[in-house]
């Protein structure tokens, strides 16, 4: 059966990395020739009939769970985000399946499914969000719309409203024309003038320098907590319950 990244590719989902070889799952008693194994990435395990579509590819839900089990968090989150964005599977269905996942791998699957979001625009943003989710005190929301006093300032790739922190995944693919650069420069300047801190990361940073990205985000969280005088535990709790923090939630 076609599985993992290859199955995700079949379902038309965007991936952080394309598979270098077709990825298959075969029954435990199936023998694969050496020549075939050199051309394929094969794993052996049993699949339930409900996990297979048309007799040859894992179902969308099974594909998300398999990738959540086998891939690094950033890649797995990108797969789950893409699946939700495509409408191939619902978040509710994934949460239910994750809750009944076998104990082995349940924590990994649960973390991916819990944070998956159809709002993420692409795998690059998903991978950046995966790093941000590991930073204490940071609550990154994908594609956050920012308005100040009724004025629309923009939509950012990731944002933490309590910290007034905007995080952008910048790529040449989205700045190939001068008008795009002009538009984004104005958006960033408007945000900074409105007391938002804007951080911009390139693809190479997110893929090759994850520790540095995490360090920068951690430093930014510490900086904003000092700059805004936020009593963090109260404000964070307010946003987690979708309540807008009041003046009493903030110090000074």
Query: For 170-208, how does the pLDDT look when each residue is reduced to its tens digit (9 = 90+)?
Result: 876 544 566 677 877 888 899 999 999 999 999 999 999
> CB–CB of 1/22 below 8 Å?
no
Structure confidence by residue, pLDDT tens digits, 52-78 = 999 999 999 999 999 999 999 999 999
pLDDT of residue 239: 54
Dist. CA 163–CA 219, nearest whole Å: 12
Which residues of the chain register pLDDT less than 70?
A: 172-179, 230-252
Rounded to two decimals, what is the model's pTM?
A: 0.87
**Residues 6+ away with beta carbon under 8 Å from 252:** 229
**Residues 6+ away with beta carbon under 8 Å from 250:** 228, 229, 230, 231, 235
pLDDT of residue 252: 36
> CB–CB of 160/140 below 8 Å?
yes
Dist. CA 90–CA 84, nearest whole Å: 6
Report how far apart the first and last C-alpha atoms of the chain are (Å, whole number). 60
pLDDT of residue 231: 54
pLDDT of residue 247: 42
Torsion of CA 21, 24, 29, 31, to 10 degrees: -30
* Domains contained in the chain, CATH given: 4-118 (no CATH), 125-249 (3.40.960)
pLDDT of residue 186: 86
Residue with tokens 């379902």: 11
């Amino acid at each position: 059966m076609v599985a993992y990244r290859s199955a995700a590719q079949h379902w038309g989902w965007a991936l952080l990395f394309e598979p270098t070889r077709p990825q298959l799952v075969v029954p435990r008693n199936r023998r694969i020739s050496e020549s075939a194994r050199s051309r394929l990435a094969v794993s052996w395990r049993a699949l339930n009939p409900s996990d297979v579509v048309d007799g040859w590819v894992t179902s969308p839900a099974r594909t998300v769970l398999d990738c959540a089990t086998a891939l690094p968090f950033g890649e797995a989150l990108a797969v789950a985000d893409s699946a939700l964005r495509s409408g191939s599977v619902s978040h509710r269905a994934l949460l239910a399946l994750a809750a009944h996942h076998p104990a082995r791998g349940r924590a990994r699957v649960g973390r991916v499914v819990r944070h998956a979001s159809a709002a993420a625009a692409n795998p690059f943003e998903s991978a950046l969000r995966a790093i941000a989710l590991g930073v204490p005190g940071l609550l990154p929301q994908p594609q956050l719309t920012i308005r100040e006093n009724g004025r629309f300032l923009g939509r950012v790739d990731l944002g933490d409203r309590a910290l007034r922190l905007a995080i952008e995944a910048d790529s040449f693919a989205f700045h190939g024309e001068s008008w795009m650069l002009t538009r984004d420069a104005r958006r960033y300047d408007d945000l900074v003038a409105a007391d938002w801190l804007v951080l911009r990361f390139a693809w190479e940073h997110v893929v090759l320098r994850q520790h540095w990205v995490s360090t920068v985000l951690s430093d930014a969280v510490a900086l904003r907590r000092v700059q805004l005088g936020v009593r963090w535990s109260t404000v964070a709790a307010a946003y987690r319950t979708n309540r807008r923090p009041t003046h009493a939630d903030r110090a000074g």
